[in-house]
A and B are shown apart, each in its own frame.
Chain A
Amino acid sequence: MGFLQGTATFRRYRVVGELPSDFSTFLDRQIKLHAFRGLPAGPEDKSLGWTRIDNVLDTDFEYAGYLYGEYILFSLRIDRKILPPSLVRVKTMEAEQHCLREKGLKRLFREQRLEIKETIRGNLLQTAQPVPSFYEVCWNAYGGWLLFGSLSEKVAEEFEDLFKRTFSLKLLPFLPWDPVFLDDAVVRSLAALRQEGGRA
Chain B
Amino acid sequence: MISSTPEENSPRNTDHRDLAFLGREFLTWLWFKSEERNGAIALPNSGDVHILFLRRIVLESGRGEYSETVVCSGLHADLSEGREALRTGKKVKEARIRMGIGNDEWEFTFKADGFHFQSMKMPSGFESVDDEVEQESNILDRVGSMDLVVTTMERLFLSFVELRRSDAWLSLEVPRIKKWIAR
With A179-B11, A187-B14 as given contacts, are A174 and B115 in contact (CB-CB < 8 Å)?
A: yes
Query: Which of B52-60, B76-84, B140-148 lies on the face that meets chain A?
Result: B140-148
Which residues does chain A contribute within 8 Å of B22, judged by CB atoms? Answer: 177, 190
Q: Is the CB of B165 within 8 A of A3?
A: no
Chain A contact residues: helix, strand, loop or mixed: mixed
Closest chain B residue to A145, Cβ basis: B147
A68 touches B20 (CB 8 A): no
Instruction: Provide the main secondary structure of the chain B interface.
Output: helix
Question: Which A residues touch B18, using CB under 8 A?
Answer: 179, 191, 194
Q: Number of contact residues on B: which range applies?
A: 35 or more
A-B contact count (CB 8 A): 126
> Any chain A CB within 8 A of the CB of B105?
no
Residues of the B chain whose Cβ atoms lie less than 8 Å from the Cβ of A189? 165
User: How many residues in A have their beta carbons less than 8 Å from beta carbons of B?
Assistant: 41
Q: Is A86's beta carbon under 8 Å from chain B?
A: no
A34 contacts the other chain (CB 8 A) = no
Is B102 in contact with chain A by the CB < 8 A criterion?
no
- Complex Cα distance, B167 from A162, in Å, reads 46
Contacts of A68 in B (CB 8 A): 136, 139-140, 143
Binding site for B on A (CB under 8 A): 2-5, 7-12, 68-69, 71, 73, 138, 140, 145, 147, 151, 173-180, 182, 184-191, 193-194, 198-200
5 residue pairs, one from A and one from B, having the closest CB atoms: A187-B11, A177-B19, A178-B16, A189-B165, A179-B14
Pick 12 A–B contacts, CB within 8 A, sort by A: A5-B128, A7-B122, A8-B122, A10-B117, A73-B139, A73-B143, A140-B147, A178-B19, A179-B16, A184-B12, A186-B165, A191-B18
